[in-house]
Amino acid sequence: MSYRLKGYSLIQWNPRLVSATASRSSILAVESSYPSGLGGNSEIFPVFDGAQRAEAIAARTVLPIGPLPGRGRAAERTWFRKLGHSLDSYGGGGTGGKVYEYMGRMFELTVKDPQFVEKVRDVVGLYMSPPDNALVLCVDEKSQIQALDRMQPLLPLLPTHPERRTNTYARHGTTSLFAALDIATGRVIGKTFRRHRSHEFRKFLDEIEAAVPTELDVHLVMDNYATHKTPAIQRWLTRRPRFHVHFTPTSSSWLNLVESFFSIVDRRVTHRGVHRSTNALEDDIRKFLDAHNSAPKPFIWTKTADQILDSLKRYCTKANAVRVERERRARAH
């Protein structure tokens, strides 16, 4: 897979495909003068076995995208052809690695929240060791869910053909799903609203209050969306001392387990669904919620806060090394 880093594409190689036999050994040419253009000399890097080989190649194979005539897949194919290679040949056969030149991932490293570490430890602590006599609920909204109808009927899945659909569609309105995931059981309290304001969020909090037994405290894991912090919401929470709020760090919704449930809703309800009205879309969402709650399965959080922070530290170290290498190459040319 490839990770985009400010104009860079870092190609990682799969160490499981590496063999210790000499027939799998090869030489990877990486053009050191690439930042100044496609011509010039090349540097030759030896190939190692196992994890050492994968780490060495991943650390050295940094492809600047900027100087290429164009960006994306075509630009990277041009770069490999200039080196006398083909991306199609990097499928794990002779080289022992695989380049996913079509794959990219988006990420945002939170640096705006000065309490990032404290919030990570707080939320992950709830997941790993929930308090007694309390319910931990991950709360969020999936807004602007569109009721879409394809302009032509779907062509069904056949043994030799995938399901096919047109790339044009008609919109029939939107709705928003408010959901609260119980991390202990996997059950979800959900409700749809046509609008997405603090007024609707307060109504959803009323739904949560009615669904949770009065003898239990309620710990809410939420993001920093503005509707969660309005004066009306703060007054509602102040009047109910059994409710405790735990905010995820800024731009860190990945820490909220309910996002995994929203991903399932997207794949199973909306992605391939055909809805000719907002009512039809909301009916399908409610049916899915009922089916999910009839046999719920909890999401198990496995990484501790220390493991998350250590992983982030390692990533920042590698990303900084890429930046330093870029500056070194710029000075050399």
CA atoms within 13 A of residue 37's CA, in its CB half-sphere: 3
Smallest Cα–Cα separation from 247: which of 106, 121, 112?
Answer: 121
Q: Which two tokens stand for residue 8?
A: 């860079």
Per-residue pLDDT tens for 225-250?
Answer: 888 999 999 999 999 999 999 999 98
Q: What is the DSSP string of 106-167?
A: ------S-TTHHHHHHHHHHHHHSPPTTEEEEEEEEEEEEEEEEESSPPBPPBTTB--B--S
Of all residues in the chain, what percent carry a pLDDT higher than 70?
A: 67
Which range of 5-9, 33-37, 176-180, 269-273 scores highest in mean pLDDT? It is: 176-180
Per-residue pLDDT tens for 171-222?
Answer: 999 999 999 999 999 999 999 999 989 999 999 999 999 999 999 999 999 9
Q: How far apart are the first and last CA of the chain?
A: 29
Per-residue pLDDT tens for 94-122?
Answer: 444 455 555 566 666 655 788 899 999 99
Q: Is the pTM of this model over 0.85?
A: no
Residue 288 pLDDT > 80? yes
163-195 burial: b if 16+ Cβ within 10 Å, else e: eeeeeeeeebebbbbbbbbbbeebbbbbbbbee
Instruction: Decide if 195 contacts 176 (C-beta within 8 A).
Output: yes
